[in-house]
Amino acid sequence: MSTRRNKKVAESKAYRFNLICEGKRFFKTEQEAIDAADVRMLENMSVTIGIYQCATCMHWHLTSIKPDQKT
């Protein structure tokens, strides 16, 4: 909890996360991340891609969501 920012993000998207940088590919804008997530989900219908703004690098990352992982 080293950074403090105003929380004025509109809840327009169903998928928002507060995660840290994991060395993933990043996007400079939310729209770029959304577009990339859409492409990923079109390529693989079984996966849900979420986006989040990284508190470390302040860019946007994708993350895969697996609500029900088969064993």
Q: What are the DSSP calls for 1-70, one per residue?
A: ----------TTSS--B-----S--EESSHHHHHHHHHHHHHH-TT-EEEEEE-TTTSSEEEEEE-SS--
Q: Which residue in the set 21, 39, 47, 65 belongs to the binding site for Zn ion (CB under 5 A)?
A: 21
Q: Is 56 in the site for Zn ion (CB under 5 A)?
A: yes
How far apart are CB 13 and Zn ion at their closest, in Å? 18
Q: Which residue in the set 9, 39, 47, 57 belongs to the binding site for Zn ion (CB under 5 A)?
A: 57
Which residues in this chain contact Zn ion in the complex, by CB under 5 A?
Answer: 21, 54, 56-57
